[in-house]
Amino acid sequence: MKEKGHIYVLESNNCDCIKIGGTNYPPAKRLQEINNTEPYKSLGPWHIFDFREVFDWRKIEHNLHYQFRDFQNHEIKNQKELFHISKFQAKEALDAIDPEEILYCPKIDRLFQDERFLNYISELFINTGLIYCADIQGVWTLSIFTQTNNGRYFTINIGSHEVAFSTLNKNNCPQINYIVVDKMILDSEYDEIRNWILSHNGEVGKASYSTAT
| Predicted confidence (pLDDT) per residue in 20-36, tens digit | 999 998 888 898 899 99
Q: Which positions ≥6 away from 20 have C-beta within 8 Å?
A: 7, 8, 9, 10, 61, 64, 65, 68, 81, 83, 90
Q: Where are the beta strands (DSSP E) in the chain?
A: 5-11, 18-23, 47-54, 82-83, 140-144, 152-158, 161-167, 177-179
Confidence of residue 112 (pLDDT cuts 50, 70, 90): low
Indicate the average pLDDT of the chain.
80
d(CA 90, CA 74) in angstroms, rounded, equals 18
Say how far apart CA 191 and CA 179 lie, in whole Å. 17
Q: What percent of the chain has pLDDT over 90?
A: 38
This prediction's pTM: 0.54
Q: How far apart are the first and last CA of the chain?
A: 56
* In the chain, domain spans: 5-104, 111-180
* Mean pLDDT calculated for residue range 121-141: 69
